[in-house]
Chain A
Amino acid sequence: MDIFSIPSQVWFGQLLIGLINGAFYAVLSLGLALIFGLLNIINFAHGAQYMMGAFLAWIGLTYLGINYWVALVLVPIVVGITGVIIERTMLKHLYKMDHLYGLLLTFGLALVIEGLFRHFYGVSGQPYSIPDSLKGGTNLGFMFLPNYRAWVVVASLVVCFFTWYMIERTRIGAYLRAGTENPELCQAFGINVPLMITLAYGYGVALAAFAGVLAAPIFQVQPLMGSNLIIVVFAVVVIGGMGSIMGAIATGLALGIVEGLTKVIYPPASSTIIFMIMVVVLLIRPAGLFGREQ
């Protein structure tokens, strides 16, 4: 069966790649949206923190023999703790200032973190092999589905759904939403808003690191792997609307798929399609598709 005289295998193949990219966009933009909502800071270090996730997984495996599954749990916690330290020592001084200061500081942090990894490990990519239990693939009849890629999509969606559920349906989430909306009043009710902000940043950063560990076996592990990705993720967040959790997830997935399919229909546009959509959305709905007008 051919569509536009392109074999269906090609369509499904690109759809899968789109889904995988979309899953990464979703997890990363979710963390960014969460951080922006509560801290009012555009976390430019997000890409570097994603890279740290992949790199620490690689370092753990190479030097310490820590396997993939342990890394998947441990690395986000470790990177999340570095996030907590960054928030406590640096970011907390910026909340009363313009967005721009947070952006500059986190941008500087990204350069420093990436610079450190380049200094010690160079720029060439390090391979990270797929864990044994996820090697191989499944023939679905219409296409061949590599198990690891299926796992990445499922794991990302589960983490996104879990985060969404926590924020929208639980008591902790109610604190978080209220803190995003009116932190001063939350303090006046006796809620420890500074602690909440610290934990939210830590969690957002941990999400980035989680995506990094997931990415390690798919992409080459190298110091700049995050800086290319993060630009697209920023576009995703702008399109979805800053601070909207569901918006970040849905937009991330959808744009990954759009990007993948564009590669089939008109390959030259595939690397710019998301930015073109961003321009159109900004013109029509400046607050983003899911954003609330201020």
Chain B
Amino acid sequence: MTSAVKPHSELLRVTDLHAYYGESHILHGLDFSLNRGELITLLGRNGAGRTTTLKAILGLVSRRTGSIIFNGQEILNLATHKIPHLGLGYVPEERGIFASLSVEENLLLPPQIRSDGMSVEELYEMFPNLAERRKSQGTRLSGGEQQMLALARILRTGAYVLLLDEITEGLAPVIVEKLGEVLTELKKRNYTIILVEQNFRFAAPLADRHYVIEHGHIEKVIEQADLAANMSMLHEYLGV
């Protein structure tokens, strides 16, 4: 399975994806696709369904229909805990740092899914703050440090497709800048990334393609090259 991924092949194809929380129908037929090594953004207003899109891919909604082909395999009916083992890493909204675990326990929590993840030493080098505070309770870290921890924790597992939900939210500009550097580095290393963002200035220079989601479906696809021409329309969609 490890070497089955060809460099520029299609890695993820979502077709007519519907997702539900209980009775509420949230996603209404989403279509998008992603090649190996690409970074796409999911943009949209609050409540548009961006988080739900990530959760639907990971099987965290109560019901979903349509098709999600990951690396050639249909994962719609796969048990939730098996999906990440295909190579997916998730940074949830609000970071999801565990209060009952120390920094190091948080870092070591997600099971290794491939052997070529970053080592703990490498990660501590990338995020020196985490090394210093490895014995602290996870939630005692600052917001920025928690975000670094949330990222570091999935880089260790060997996941090569990262689903990142609003990683810049509520963080100081210097930290946002640091996160930008980290993402640039990850792109260089050929990680494939889906980025849910409110901070468009952060996302714009990194992305290959932008998807605007509204009311649970894709309203607009904008290629990076056409971004400048579409700015005013985008502002209207995002209400900024």
Give the B-binding residues of A (Cβ under 8 A).
171, 174-175, 177-178, 180-182, 184-194
Provide the residues of chain A in CB contact with B98, threshold 8 Å: 177-178, 181-182
Interface of A, helix, strand, loop or mixed by DSSP: helix
Known: A182-B96, A187-B59, A192-B81. 19 other contacts (CB 8 A): A174-B101, A177-B101, A178-B101, A180-B100, A182-B98, A185-B90, A186-B109, A187-B81, A188-B58, A188-B84, A189-B110, A189-B111, A190-B82, A190-B83, A190-B85, A190-B110, A190-B113, A190-B157, A191-B111
With a cutoff of 8 Å between Cβ atoms, the chain A residues found around residue B59 in the complex are: 187
Q: How far is the CA of A191 from the CA of B154 in the complex (A)?
A: 13
Asked if B221 is at the interface of the complex by the 8 Å CB criterion, the answer is no
**Which of B81, B85, B100 has a CB less than 8 Å from the CB of A181?**
B100
Q: CB distance A184 to B60 under 8 Å?
A: yes
Identify whether the interface residues of B are mostly helix, strand, loop, or mixed: loop
Question: Within 8 Å of chain A (Cβ to Cβ): is B75?
Answer: no
Q: Which residue of B lies closest to A176 (CB)?
A: B100
The answer to whether B230 has its CB under 8 Å from any CB of chain A is no
Residues in B with CB closer than 8 Å to A192 are: 81
Q: Identify which of residues 67-121 in chain B touch chain A, using a CB-to-CB cut-off of 8 Å.
A: 80-85, 90, 92, 96, 98-101, 105, 108-111, 113
Q: Which residues of B contact A194 (CB under 8 A)?
A: 81
> Would you give 23 A-B contacts (Cβ < 8 Å), ordered by A?
A171-B108, A174-B101, A174-B105, A174-B109, A177-B100, A177-B101, A178-B100, A180-B100, A181-B99, A184-B60, A185-B90, A186-B109, A188-B58, A188-B80, A189-B109, A189-B111, A189-B157, A190-B81, A190-B83, A190-B84, A190-B85, A191-B109, A191-B110
Alpha-carbon distance A188/B80, docked complex (angstroms): 7
Cα distance A77–B100 in the bound complex, in angstroms: 29
Who on chain B is nearest to A185 by CB? B96
Chain B residue numbers with a CB within 8 Å of A190 are 81-85, 110-111, 113, 157
**CA–CA, A178 to B90, complex, Å?**
15
Q: What chain B residues lie within 8 Å of A177 (beta carbons)?
A: 98, 100-101
Return chain A residues, CB-CB under 8 Å to B154: 189
Is B92 within 8 A of A187, CB to CB? Answer: no
**Interface of B toward A, CB cutoff 8 Å:** 58-60, 80-85, 90, 92, 96, 98-101, 105, 108-111, 113, 154, 157
B84 neighbours in A (Cβ, 8 Å): 188-190
B81 x A193 contact (CB < 8 A) = yes
In contact, B92 and A185 (Cβ under 8 angstroms): yes
Contact A189-B100, Cβ < 8 Å, known A174-B108, A175-B109: no
Least CB distance from A163 to B in Å reads: 16
Residues of A within 8 A of B96 (CB): 182, 185
List of B residues within 8 angstroms of A180 by Cβ: 100
Nearest opposing residue in chain A for B86, CB measure: A190
Q: How far is the CB of B55 from chain A (nearest CB, A)?
A: 8
CA distance A190 to B109 in the complex (A): 10
- CA A186 to CA B154, docked complex, whole Å: 12
